[in-house]
């Protein structure tokens, strides 16, 4: 797995969204690095991650994440994932609980009852490539007001380029994994301290999806931030404050 590491302190591993890469976390990493060792990595078929030659599941991505954690830390870490990364986090906490001392699930979902949306995206990308989903993705990822600001325009352009650079087969394989997932039973087994972060204006994974995750994980806390789907890009300062405040409540990292 291709990883980046910044900062010193307790280890936080960040897992990115569909059709993006580890650089989605650049702004958040800069805010957390003064107090934490921040590790980012690319999923299969994304960024510089391995090519997805065969179909895979969210559980397979969770096992990838476990491999990353074991390679960078001798003890349990905090794992924070957004969208696809949050799906990976849910599966990771169910499958590899000893690797985690905290789980943050950001702008994510535990299950999709109807896979039509995913099948439509898969067909569009198989037919005409990543440009087929670019405009609609940016519309979901960022609020209209933010996209119209100078900062928002720059962020949107950067995210759009990351999407266009994503391998089309990588995108298709990830969509297939998401369409087939059902994390609800695994969530009921999670004992890791868990924070759920919901975007107040998130149309891709609305508040009801975050609430469903929180309802399924014993003791989970849920917090809303002022953003759409890619909150790490739209409100990195607010998200950093939320994550830092929550991480300060976790048991200390083993020395």
Residue 245 pLDDT greater than 80, yes or no: yes
Rounded mean pLDDT, 119-132: 97
Tokens of 223: 């917090």
Classify 3 as helix, strand or coil.
Answer: strand
First vs last C-alpha separation in the chain: 26
pLDDT level of residue 94 (50, 70, 90 thresholds): very high
Q: Specify the pLDDT at position 254.
A: 59
pLDDT reading at 192 higher than 70? yes
Looking at the predicted structure, is the pLDDT value of residue 1 above 80?
A: no
CA angle 192, 5, 253 (to 5 degrees): 35
Go through the domains of the chain in sequence order and give each one's CATH number.
Answer: 3-247 (3.40.50.1820)
166-179 per-position pLDDT tens digit:
999 999 999 999 99
User: Quick one: how far is CA 12 from the chain centroid?
Assistant: 13
CA dihedral (96, 101, 105, 106) positive or negative: negative
3-class DSSP assignment, residue 4: strand
Residue of higher predicted confidence among 200 and 251: 200
Please list the residues that pair with 106 across neighbouring strands. Answer: 82, 197
User: Any long-range contacts for 149-158 (C-beta under 8 Å, 24+ apart)?
Assistant: 152/234, 155/233, 155/234, 158/233
Supply 98's token pair. Answer: 């000893």
Measured CA to CA, the distance from residue 248 to residue 52 in angstroms comes to 37
pTM, two decimals, is 0.97
pLDDT digits (tens, 9 = 90+) for 5-38: 999 999 999 999 999 999 999 999 999 999 999 9
Report the distance separating Cα 180 and Cα 28, nearest Å: 30
Query: Beta strands of the chain (E only): which ranges?
Result: 3-6, 11-15, 37-41, 77-82, 100-106, 194-199, 221-225
The secondary structure of residue 188, as a DSSP letter, is T
Q: How far apart are CA 150 and CA 39, in angstroms?
A: 29
Banded model confidence at residue 252, pLDDT cuts 50, 70, 90: confident
Task: Provide the token pair at 216.
Answer: 């399924």
């Amino acid at each position: 797995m291709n990883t980046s590491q910044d900062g010193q302190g307790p280890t936080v591993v960040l897992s990115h969204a569909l059709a993006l890469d580890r650089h989605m976390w650049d702004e958040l990493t800069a805010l957390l690095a003064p107090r934490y060792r921040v590790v980012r990595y690319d999923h299969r078929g994304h960024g510089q991650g391995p090519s997805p030659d065969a179909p895979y599941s969210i559980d397979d991505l969770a096992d990838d994440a476990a491999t990353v954690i074991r390679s960078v830390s001798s003890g349990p870490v905090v794992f924070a994932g957004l969208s696809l990364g949050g799906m990976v986090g849910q599966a990771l906490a169910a499958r590899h609980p000893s690797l985690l001392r905290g789980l943050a699930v950001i702008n994510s979902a535990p299950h999709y009852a109807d896979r039509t949306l995913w099948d439509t995206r898969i067909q569009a990308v198989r037919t005409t490539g990543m440009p087929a989903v670019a405009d609609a993705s940016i519309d979901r990822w960022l609020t209209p007001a933010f996209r119209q600001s100078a900062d928002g325009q720059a962020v949107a352009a950067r995210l759009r380029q990351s999407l266009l650079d994503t391998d089309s087969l990588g995108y298709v394989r990830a969509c297939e994994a998401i369409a087939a997932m059902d994390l609800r039973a695994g969530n009921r087994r999670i004992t890791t301290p868990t924070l759920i972060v919901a975007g107040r204006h998130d149309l891709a994974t609305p508040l009801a999806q975050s609430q469903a995750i929180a309802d399924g994980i014993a003791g989970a806390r849920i917090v809303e931030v002022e953003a759409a789907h890619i909150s790490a890009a739209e409100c990195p300062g607010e998200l950093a404050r939320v994550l830092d405040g929550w991480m300060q409540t976790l048991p200390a990292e083993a020395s």
